Structure 1
Amino acid sequence: MTSDFDTRKAEAATWFRSLRDAIVAAFEALEDAGPGEAPAGRFEVSETRRAGAAGEDAGGGLMSVMRCGRVFEKVGVNVSTVHGQLGAKAQAAMAARGVPGIAEDPRFWASGISLVAHMQNPHVPAVHMNTRMFWTPHAWWFGGGADLNPCIDYAEDTAHFHAALKAACDAHDPGFYTRFKDWADEYFFVPHRGRARGVGGVFFDDLNTGDWDADFAFTKAVGQAFLPAFVPLVERRHATAWGEVERDIQLVHRGLYAEYNLVYDRGTKFGLETGHDANAVLMSLPPLAKWI
């Protein structure tokens, strides 16, 4: 599988980087058109590295973060391609998910894009999106999704976001949207609060139908659906008037988001356990939050 998949791994990594470039450009365009006279925000880009077990090169990526813009208070768009050997905890987690041969040969390769946006205006929803490919000598799969996290709900915004994701799913399998929407509702739930962290979206993992090209095409479709799903919501809400009441609601909701990402999020745990750059892994945390 190793030699057969070298080209496919490179193709996937190139795609995730191209999606990152498109999103960064679109978000900076939103900043240019944003309200107010403050300078439009721009992404600060830095390289990230993963430390291997013996200090060897284990891959890395780009961390792109914009802070204190006209539209975005903090947004990160990270892309990475890492490899090496899984540690004991990660091996156990993979084995529990049914990944074969991981104890005998713990090598892995993973590439993907991860995005989280926290907005200036409380009327504009926060959002998360990621897509990724994971490979071991015995298995490969895709995963990802997107979910909307408004602190002030607008039914029409939720409907638009879900409609864009549904269209992407339906083009590949009429059963995908219901299946992956339900999975998102289950995954993005905060048990100790007894509530969802937002209004959902789609989430999928361990996607391997046996047809790599079809599964990769679907993964790309989810990524391509993100900007049409989210940008119109930003354009609709970013100039809406708000004050201290709305800001307080936003900060409290961000506390819920931070709790989920630190306690439950699978990607956060994997990134920290496998030695990836901690700043990149924790990029998802909001710049400010509040707890009652």
Structure 2
Amino acid sequence: MTQPFDTEKARASAWFRELRDRIVAAFEALEDSQAEGPMAGLPAGRFEVTETKRASDDGGDAGGGLMSVMRGGRVFEKVGVNVSTVYGKLGEAAQKAMAARGVPGIETDPSFWASGISLVAHMQNPHTPAVHMNTRMFWTPHAWWFGGGADLNPCIEYDEDTAAFHAALKTACDAHASDYYERFKAWADEYFFVPHRGRARGVGGIFYDDLNTGDWDADFAFTRAVGEAFLPAFLPVTERRRNQPWTEADKEAQLVHRGLYAEYNLVYDRGTKFGLATGHDANAVLMSLPPVAKWY
């Protein structure tokens, strides 16, 4: 029997998978086209794909997804593009966290369903910025919402790259609501801040969560627009920087900045906490961590 929101869940899950497929193809094409620089002699990078499973307390089906990771490519030192659709019962800690966010009834019926795509790329060339993107849908019997965003994380900042990345995201936001870009840019600036370092982890982007205007189709359309904006926002920046010569000092700056990125993801990132707390595959959850980093 079809249950409420089954159609919407299926549409969202299918779209996250479709977006994953397009991004993986675009990144492998970028690897194929890299013919200059010190990494050009390497084999073109390819994604290794692994099925993931969510651990269920009762041993039953709790969903899972695909973890797609490329390591040691010509352009990408490490990049992961994961999709998942998971469901079941939230644990006590997760229930309390959801209740604190204002989800009604979650402590009496902790059933949930969540689907999304998550991407993090760490680049070979220190002049090419790392990047993060995700979009997701979350459902309980009491509420549903969308969330996501994208942010740029250069270790060597270029104003034109920052401006171009933000412009692409603003175009996507403006097509849906005139206030979305400013609201979600400010939210990203607050969310991607590392308190113990007193600085942002990058040059920002957009971030939104708990998006439920009451119009599921409109909110899903906006979430698709955010995902669709990613490649037009990121690929031109990558192509502009991927052949730029770098020094040992540039590489050192990249490794130190990666340490900042790792600190944020392990200490503050909401998605990391949720994934580990709800029993999802730990390797998939921690895919965002850089392959090599430094601390002083």
TM-score, structure 1 normalization: 0.99
CA–CA distance in 1 between the matches of 2:16 and 2:94?
Answer: 23
Give the structure 1 partner of residue 26 of structure 2: 26
Per-residue deviation, 1:53: 1.1
CA–CA distance in 2 between the matches of 1:137 and 1:52?
Answer: 19
CA–CA distance in 2 between the matches of 1:47 and 1:243?
Answer: 38
SS in 2 for 1:152: coil
Is residue 2:270 matched to residue 1:266? yes
Counterpart pick for 2:64 among 55, 60, 66: 60
SS in 1 for 2:5: helix
RMSD: 0.6
Is residue 2:156 matched to residue 1:155? no
SS in 2 for 1:51: coil
Counterpart pick for 1:249 among 247, 253, 258: 253
Counterpart pick for 2:221 among 206, 212, 217: 217
Q: Single out whichever of 160-169 and 34-43 deviates more from structure 2.
A: 34-43
Where does structure 2 lack aligned partners over 5 or more consecutive residues? none
Amino acid at match of 2:96: A
Counterpart pick for 1:144 among 141, 144, 148: 148
Per-residue deviation, 1:3: 1.7
Q: Deviations over 1:88-139 (max 9, x none)?
A: 0000000000000001100000000000000000000000000000000010
CA–CA distance in 1 between the matches of 2:4 and 2:230?
Answer: 30
Amino acid at match of 1:22: R
Counterpart pick for 1:240 among 233, 241, 244: 244
Per-residue deviation, 1:243: 1.8
Give the structure 1 partner of residue 88 of structure 2: 84
Is residue 2:190 matched to residue 1:186? yes
Q: Deviations over 1:142-186 (max 9, x none)?
A: 000000000000000000000000000000000000000000000
SS in 2 for 1:235: helix
Per-residue deviation, 1:4: 2.5
Where does structure 1 lack aligned partners over 5 or more consecutive residues? none
Is residue 2:162 matched to residue 1:196? no
Amino acid at match of 2:5: F
CA–CA distance in 2 between the matches of 1:279 and 1:261?
Answer: 14
Amino acid at match of 2:155: C
Give the structure 2 partner of residue 228 of structure 1: 232
Per-residue deviation, 1:264: 0.2
Residue identity over aligned pairs, in percent, reads 79
SS in 1 for 2:263: helix
How many residues align structurally? 291
Amino acid at match of 1:124: T
CA–CA distance in 1 between the matches of 2:4 and 2:91?
Answer: 25
CA–CA distance in 2 between the matches of 1:251 and 1:43?
Answer: 23
Per-residue deviation, 1:57: 1.1
Amino acid at match of 1:234: T
Per-residue deviation, 1:37: 1.8
CA–CA distance in 1 between the matches of 2:42 and 2:27?
Answer: 16
Runs in 1 of length 4+ with deviation above 2 angstroms?
A: none
Give the structure 2 partner of residue 118 of structure 1: 122
TM-score, structure 2 normalization: 0.98
